[in-house]
Amino acid sequence: MLRVVVCVSGGGTNLQAIIDGIARGAIFHTEIVRVVCNNPGVRALERAKEAGIESVCVSPKDYGDREQFEAALIRSVDEAAPDLIVLAGFMVKVPEGLIKKYEHRIINVHPSLIPAFCGTGYYGLRVHEAVLARGVKITGATVHFVDDGMDTGPIIMQKAVEVHEDDTPETLQKRVMQEAEWVILPWCINLIAAGQVKVENGRVTVTE
Ligand code: GAR
């Protein structure tokens, strides 16, 4: 069994896609052992509860400084002894200590085709606003390993999505989630659980 901790901040639709993927047998040999959230009262926490998954809320507001918050965050992950940490809409800069400890064991889903529309300031709806402002015709989503940069780690999988002329940031976000994120994130977790994902020299290969 691959023990997975899922880190969330808001709606939790990607968390739901993982929960559903496990339930319908699209993700094998995988168990979500804990959901870690930095925002109290968000929908993602309800989704965890509905699925009977233990959740922990670690809010920066409850700690004196960033260092204490990061230490609590790392503790809440460590306690669950995960094999894999999935950042599913987690809007927190991941503590360096966590990245070092879990090298090639943290993955993130990003709502664009990296290296376009990623890095500092590109998250959530802002990504789709920037895509529309630039007028690109194709966007998509990326699942990648997390390294010490911002959206710079080895890419595992990407899926393209068409931009429509009448799109708003909201309609585009929905299409990118439905057609790409909710498809490739569960798929990547399943590949990792099956031991089919290797990282060599900063590049990912998926073996048969
Ligand atoms: C998703 O679109 C995810 O790709 C994005 O936030 C949204 C969270 O939605 N993540 C980032 O922008 C990270 N840089 P969700 O809470 O419904 O899964």
- Is the CB–ligand 1 distance for residue 169 below 6 Å? no
Q: Which band of pLDDT confidence, cut at 50, 70 and 90, is reported for residue 208? A: confident
Q: How many domains in the chain? A: 1
Q: Is residue 207 part of a domain?
A: no
pLDDT of 199 above 90: yes
Q: Is residue 184 part of a domain?
A: yes
Write out the DSSP string of 171-189.
Answer: HHHHHHIIIIIHHHHHHHH
Q: Is residue 20 part of a domain?
A: yes
pLDDT (tens digit per residue) in 133-151: 999 999 999 999 999 999 9
Whose CA is closest to 76, among 89, 52, 65, 60? 60
The Å distance, Cα 88 to ligand 1 centre, comes to 6
pTM summary value = 0.98
pLDDT at 178: 98
Closest atom of ligand 1 to CA, residue 181: 4
Q: Is residue 54 part of a domain?
A: yes
Q: Is residue 160 part of a domain?
A: yes
Q: Is residue 91 part of a domain?
A: yes
- Is the CB–ligand 1 distance for residue 95 below 6 Å? no
Q: How many residues does the chain have?
A: 208
Closest atom of ligand 1 to CA, residue 111: 4
**Average model confidence (pLDDT) for the chain?**
97
The Å distance, Cα 97 to ligand 1 centre, comes to 23
Active site includes 110? yes
Residue 1 contacts by C-beta under 8 Å, 6 or more apart in sequence?
Answer: 29, 30, 31
Look-up: residue for tokens 């959740």?
55
- Is the CB–ligand 1 distance for residue 92 below 6 Å? no
Alpha-carbon distance of 163 to 174, in angstroms, equals: 11
Integer-rounded Cα Rg, in Å, for the chain is: 16
Q: Which CATH number fits the domain that encloses residue 174?
A: 3.40.50.170
Q: Which domain holds residue 128?
A: 2-198
The Å distance, Cα 44 to ligand 1 centre, comes to 11
- Is the CB–ligand 1 distance for residue 112 below 6 Å? no
Q: Is residue 133 part of a domain?
A: yes
